[in-house]
Amino acid sequence: MTDGEHPANGPHTRTVEAGYDRVAEAYLSTKNPEDPVTLAVLEDLASDLPSTAAVLDLGCGAGIPVTRWLAHRGYAVTGVDVSARQLELARKYVPEATFIKADMIDLAFRPETFDAVVAFHSIIHVPREEHPALLATIHRWLKPGGTFMATLTVTEFEGEDGDWEGWGAAMRWSHHDAETNRGMLRNAGFEIRYAEARTTSGTDGVETWLWVEASKPS
Ligand SMILES: C[S@@+](CC[C@H](N)C(=O)[O-])C[C@H]1O[C@@H](n2cnc3c(N)ncnc32)[C@H](O)[C@@H]1O
């Protein structure tokens, strides 16, 4: 399945890993567990899933709210994160799920393992030259008819903040604009149900993401 404890790839991901190890609690305090946009898309996802669905959550963080919501629906949820501290919190808040410490670009699941793969606010931290291969891999892991749900980005950016939010840790981001993201999804073989900008509000303010639901053709 995966080597589980593989060291993170390269300086980019080591910065992300160390950053989330340091800011895990501060980041969690910015989350709105009742965010209506997130809860609505999860309901939407659930309407397509069998009750015994296997769901992979890439970059699950502390598991609030997404991993917990999926686990409470009764799905067999596997959460993956590169940060040991994030996984420590996730295991505490979502004891029903299975967690793996890994860089998502190093994971190796069998083809057609999952009914759904979700990635909320996480692919933004993977070096963007890896995004086409990552999306193709996610497509391979999905069963025919399976669903990929993610928050991708509406603007392109590549860079690092030496003291993210004043939390005392560096962080890196690397992502594409909306049209490039839509093109990469299609090139990976997905049928896009929607890939549109939506704005959410959390305790740290208002954010706009490219909300994506895409399917692997049956
Ligand atoms: C912004 S947080 C989002 C957490 C959660 N999905 C949410 O929406 O609240 C991004 C998470 O992705 C994880 N992450 C970043 N790059 C990763 C990678 N290459 N492989 C696995 N996890 C990664 C980080 O450690 C962090 O927990």
Ligand 1 contacts CB of residue 82 (under 6 A): yes
202 band by pLDDT with thresholds 50, 70 and 90:
low
* Among protein residues, the one whose CA lies closest to atom 10 of ligand 1: 122
Q: Per residue in 39-76, pLDDT tens?
A: 999 999 999 999 999 999 999 999 999 999 999 999 99
CATH of the domain at 32: 3.40.50.150
Ligand 1 contacts CB of residue 59 (under 6 A): yes
In a domain? residue 84: yes
In a domain? residue 143: yes
CA–centroid distance, 25 to ligand 1, in Å, is 13
150 vs 153: CA distance, rounded Å: 10
5 band by pLDDT with thresholds 50, 70 and 90:
very low
In a domain? residue 44: yes
Q: Is the pLDDT of residue 35 over 70?
A: yes
Measure the CA angle with vertex 177, ends 206 and 64; round to 5°: 45
In a domain? residue 1: no
CB 102 within 8 A of CB 152: no
pLDDT for 9 equals: 65
Ligand 1 contacts CB of residue 83 (under 6 A): yes
Q: Which amino acid is at 54?
A: A
In a domain? residue 4: no
What does pTM read for this prediction? 0.95
In a domain? residue 3: no
Q: Per residue in 114-157, pLDDT tens?
A: 999 999 999 999 999 999 999 999 999 999 999 999 999 999 99
Question: Which atom of ligand 1 is nearest the CA belonging to 20?
Answer: 25
2 band by pLDDT with thresholds 50, 70 and 90:
very low
Domain of residue 117 covers 10-215
In a domain? residue 174: yes
In a domain? residue 2: no
CB 12 within 8 A of CB 170: no
29 band by pLDDT with thresholds 50, 70 and 90:
very high
**Taking all residues of the chain, what is their mean pLDDT, rounded to a whole number?**
94
Ligand 1 contacts CB of residue 69 (under 6 A): no
| CA 116 to chain centroid | 12
Ligand 1 contacts CB of residue 19 (under 6 A): no
163 band by pLDDT with thresholds 50, 70 and 90:
very high
E strands along the chain, which residues? 54-58, 76-81, 98-101, 114-119, 142-152, 157-161, 171-175, 191-202, 205-215
Domain count, the chain: 1
Q: Is the pLDDT of residue 204 over 80?
A: no
Ligand 1 contacts CB of residue 79 (under 6 A): no
